């Protein structure tokens, strides 16, 4: 699997898992909603749920798309095309810029309760 495909599959699955954990585990525990709400859009959990479901769905689509692209590339490679050296074969799937994004996300999550 190419580095880009691995990276997108791992990123998609990780973000989807994180969104689902927040949606079903943290959101009901952290946000207190009244029992009776006359309009669903007035619920304090309405927009967080919409955003988390969207993030989970789009990240799952990213993982599926990367996997399908990998399968297509493998089929095209077996179809008689000569094997060319992959310039990205030796590079790791994640680099320093990805680490910076993860650290920034963790800092935002840590700052939110303040």
Angle, CA of 112, 99 and 113, to the nearest 5°: 10
| pLDDT digits 0-9 by tens, 82-102 | 445 555 556 666 677 778 888
HEC string of 9-47 equals: HHHHHHHHHHHHHHHHHHHHHHCCCCCCCCCHHHCCCHH
User: What is the signed CA dihedral for 80, 85, 90, 94, rounded to 10 degrees?
Assistant: -60
User: 84 lies in a domain?
Assistant: no
User: 9 lies in a domain?
Assistant: yes
User: 18 lies in a domain?
Assistant: yes
User: 105 lies in a domain?
Assistant: no
User: 56 lies in a domain?
Assistant: yes
pTM reported for the whole predicted model = 0.68
| pLDDT digits 0-9 by tens, 31-83 | 888 888 888 778 888 899 999 999 999 999 999 999 999 999 888 887 655 44
User: 30 lies in a domain?
Assistant: yes
Domain that holds residue 65: 1-34+44-74
User: 10 lies in a domain?
Assistant: yes
User: 11 lies in a domain?
Assistant: yes
How many structural domains does the chain have? 1
């Amino acid at each position: 699997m190419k580095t880009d495909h691995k990276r997108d599959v791992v990123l998609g699955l990780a973000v989807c898992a994180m969104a689902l954990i927040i949606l079903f585990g943290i959101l009901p525990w952290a946000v207190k909603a009244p029992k009776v709400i006359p309009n669903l859009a007035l619920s304090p959990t309405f927009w967080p749920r919409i955003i988390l479901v969207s993030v989970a769905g789009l990240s799952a689509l990213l993982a599926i798309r990367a996997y399908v692209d990998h399968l297509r590339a493998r089929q095209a490679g077996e179809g008689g095309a000569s094997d060319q050296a992959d310039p990205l074969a030796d590079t790791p799937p994640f680099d320093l810029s990805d680490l910076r994004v993860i650290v920034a996300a963790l800092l935002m999550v840590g700052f939110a309760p303040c």
